[in-house]
Amino acid sequence: MTPSVLFVCLGNICRSPLAEAAFREEARRVKLDVLVDSAGTGDWHVGSPPDPRAQAVARKNGVDISVLRGRQVNPADFRRFTHIVALDEDNLANLRRLAPVDATAELSLLLDHVEGREGQPVADPYFGDDDGFDFTWADVTAGAQGLAATLRRFRD
C-alpha cells in the first residue's frame, strides 16, 4: 500500500503547506512513492493561496507553493490518508475530535518524527516577523526528513 500523508495546521496557509512542500521534496530526494496533501482544521482560508511570506520562504528554498490552495480537513481524510500529521498539539486534539469512528489514519505531531523534538509544536509564524517563516521552514524540513525515514523503514 502506498503511504499517504496529510499535514494539518489551523488555516492551511503557513505551516501545513510548508510541511507539504518540504515533505514532497524529501520524498522525491529519497525516492519515496507517497501521496501528499495539506489542510486546515479551520475554514477561514479555504480556496486561498499560501501566505505570501510562506511562498517566499519556500521559493528561497527552491520550492514553488503558489499553486496550493487552502482546504479544510474532512471525515474522508481519516480513511484516505495513512498518516495525518498535525503541526501542533491544539490541531492534533482537534483532529482527534473530528476523527470518525471508522478512521484508519495514524495521527501524530510532525516533530514527533525528529529525535529529541517529540511533542514539540512547529511554531506558527503568522503573527510574527518574516524571519519566523525561516524557523518554520527549518522545523518542517527536519520533520519531513524524519517522517520520510520512518516511512522508508516500513517500506523496506
Distances (CA, A) of 89 to 3, 39, 53: 23, 15, 23
Q: The cell 492534533 sits on which residue?
A: 92
Please report, as a single letter, which amino acid is at residue 144.
A
User: Cell numbers of 139, please?
Assistant: 522545523
User: Choosing from 15, 24, 53, 71, which is the catalytic residue?
Assistant: 15
DSSP code of residue 72 = B
Q: Which class for 115: exposed (0-12), middle (13-18), buried (19 or more C-beta within 10 A)?
A: exposed
CA torsion, points 100, 88, 5, 154, in degrees to nearest 10?
-100
Closest CA to 6 of 53, 67, 74: 74
User: Choosing from 9, 51, 53, 139, which is the catalytic residue?
Assistant: 9
Give dist(CA 52, CA 121) in Å, integer.
22
Among this protein's residues, is 15 annotated catalytic? Answer: yes
User: Choosing from 37, 77, 112, 124, which is the catalytic residue?
Assistant: 124
The residues annotated with a catalytic role in the active site are 9, 15, 124
